[in-house]
A = this chain, B = another copy of it.
Amino acid sequence: MNLEEKISKLFEKLDTLEHYANVMHILNFDTNTICPEEGREYENESYALIASLAYKITKSEDYINLVKEINAEKDKLDPYKKKLIEDLYREISNNEKISPELFEEATKLSSTAYNVWLKAKRNSDYKKFAPTLEKMVKMRKKLIDLRPQKEKTYYDTMIGDFEQNFYIEDYDAFFQKIKDALVPLIKKIRESKVKIRTDFMKRKYPLHKQEEFSKYLMEVVGFDMNKGAISTTEHPFTDTLARYDSRITTHYYEDNFISNMYSVIHESGHAIFGQNEPDEIYDNHLQNSMTMGMHESVSRFYENRIGRSKEFIHLIYPKLRELFSEQLSDVSEEELYLGVNAVDLNQPLRTEADELTYSIHVLIRYELEKEFINNPEFDFSKLNKMWNEKYEEYLGIKVKSDKEGVLQDVHWTDSYGYFPTYAIGNAYNAMYFNKMNEEIDVYSLIEKGQINKITDWMKEHVFKKASLLHPKEWIKDITGRSLDPQDFIDYITNKYSEIYKL
């Protein structure tokens, strides 16, 4: 077989794998949206059956040899295929020495950890979770030991699994700047006398009108309804199942229409990314090679830079007043803008955090997991105490219970090194916002409702190479600069200084 034939044989296998993945995504979407409670167990078994078919292919000698052989000649490939082979080869190498038994053991441990965490959280009792967390960390390190290529430390390796070519030194520098700038800013806001009106946000907004509002918002931001859909789930998410199938979900609360509003814009951002990647990406099986940081930068761009701007509020205010004439009769445009940007300095949950404090929530997790992964002497029984101290020091928040503290997130039941990616999306998008704003008048386009022109810029500069380049190369390709949180810091400092009259 020559190289071309090998590629074509590999692509056949990838086609099948992608169909299995599509089926699994649909089953997962179905389970989360419509499947009745008692039907879920059987549906999960169906899922496991399809997953095992996919697993068999990726573990077959045939497949592994193809990837290895092509990898040996990767420099002859076009950039798309080269990136694909690098990704597949890394995946194969990382897993090759993991026996099916160890793989199963790790999967089981992680699902045990999930159940232990869930119970511990319900009882707000971190002590019950600590030993399992320690076991999980050991298991993750054991799996890393089996890799042919590792980074300097365990935590560096873990970081790279989620944001390629990123290391502790990158995040240390990044978070230091964030901390130096935002912690004092938050203190000032705590002392500010400005009181923002939020009473109207808790009024009752009928669910079916919120549904109508969701569709309006999706249209305004440019979600393509021919290539996507919306449904409801407990926790909103986006899933790009296939080239022409990007779905979002939301959750409606009668007494919190803002929650749905920003879920819809955020998830639409993710979907717009999926709907607008170029054909080359899909043709070359590269649709899943973006990092979380890159993806979140886009969803937050639509959610915050667009959706929480004065201009956007100006754009949608008439429709909101029309839909909710009763609830918003005494609310001005300015009050609405301030309301959606208010900071609540008493609430300890990351998922409920505002644009400003969000990065600090992530910073705390970063500092803690770096420590408990890389320090072999780490005392897991003290993690909740350390957590609470940092919340008090950085945010002035007194965490009242483990449930609202160290146990609030599910992530540590499964993986480590993922949290920091939550923070860099805002830094990426602040950088490309500034670049974009040199070329087109972003805020004026928002105000005029011409978000399609902003998305056109995003297609050309942000979406086009996202799956092709590593994040560091990518942000340089867009802006000509290396990742720097300063753009975000400047933007957020200005915005909140104005809002809280600092």
* 8 Å CB interface, A23-55 against B: 23, 26-27, 29-30, 33-39, 41-43, 45-46, 49-50, 53
The answer to whether A390 has its CB under 8 Å from any CB of chain B is no
Q: Which of A220-228, A256-264, A478-486 contacts the other chain?
A: A220-228
Q: Is the CB of B247 within 8 A of A42?
A: no
A245 touches which one: B26, B33, B36, B229 (CB < 8 A)? B36
The answer to whether A374 has its CB under 8 Å from any CB of chain B is no
CA distance A243 to B49 in the complex (A): 18
The answer to whether A284 has its CB under 8 Å from any CB of chain B is no
CA distance A247 to B33 in the complex (A): 13
Using A30-B29, A46-B26 as known contacts, say yes or no to A37 and B242 having CB atoms under 8 A apart.
no
CA distance A42 to B23 in the complex (A): 10
Q: Is the CB of B19 within 8 A of A49?
A: yes
Interface of A is mostly: helix
Mark contacts of A243-256 with chain B using CB atoms, 8 A cut-off: 1 yes-contact digit, 0 otherwise: 11101000000000
Q: Is the CB of A39 within 8 A of B208?
A: no
Report chain B residues within 8 Å CB of A245. Answer: 35-36, 38-39, 42-43
Report chain B residues within 8 Å CB of A42. Answer: 22, 242-245
The answer to whether A384 has its CB under 8 Å from any CB of chain B is no
Q: Is the CB of B225 within 8 A of A36?
A: yes
The answer to whether A241 has its CB under 8 Å from any CB of chain B is yes
Distance from A473 Cβ to chain B, minimum over Cβ atoms (Å): 30
Report chain B residues within 8 Å CB of A241. Answer: 39
The answer to whether A16 has its CB under 8 Å from any CB of chain B is yes
Q: Is the CB of A39 within 8 A of B242?
A: yes
The answer to whether A231 has its CB under 8 Å from any CB of chain B is yes
Report chain B residues within 8 Å CB of A30. Answer: 26, 29-30
A45 touches which one: B19, B26, B43, B208 (CB < 8 A)? B19
Q: Is the CB of A35 within 8 A of B229?
A: yes
Known: A26-B46, A29-B30. 5 other contacts (CB 8 A): A30-B30, A35-B229, A35-B245, A39-B227, A39-B245
30 A-B residue pairings within 8 Å (CB atoms): A16-B49, A19-B45, A19-B49, A22-B42, A22-B46, A23-B23, A23-B27, A23-B46, A23-B49, A23-B50, A26-B43, A29-B30, A34-B247, A35-B229, A35-B245, A36-B226, A36-B227, A36-B228, A36-B229, A36-B244, A36-B245, A36-B247, A38-B244, A38-B245, A39-B228, A39-B242, A39-B244, A42-B242, A43-B242, A208-B208
